Amino acid sequence: AVGLLAFVWWLGAIGIVWALAVGLDHVYVSEHYPGDVLGGYAIGILGGLAAVWVARTALARGVPWGARFGARR
């Protein structure tokens, strides 16, 4: 959701609302402790920010995506 928020804000907003609702639901039905959900939110946010940083850096440098993952030209 964080990654989407950086590129398509309205789709990212829907994803964030969805993630918050699912996390709160898991606490409500006693499936997870609140700390578990908060930890999951933190890991998700950090992972999303890292993915956005990598994507923006690669786009700014003009890295051809296919070449980075072994695609043949």
Query: How confident is the prediction for the chain on average, in pLDDT?
Result: 85
What is the pLDDT, as a whole number, of residue 68?
A: 56
Contact 13, 5 (CB under 8 A): yes
Contact, 21 vs 70, CB < 8 A? no
Residue 4, pLDDT > 90, answer no
Mean pLDDT of 33-60: 91
Distance CA(51)–CA(62), nearest Å, equals 16
| Single pTM value for the model | 0.74
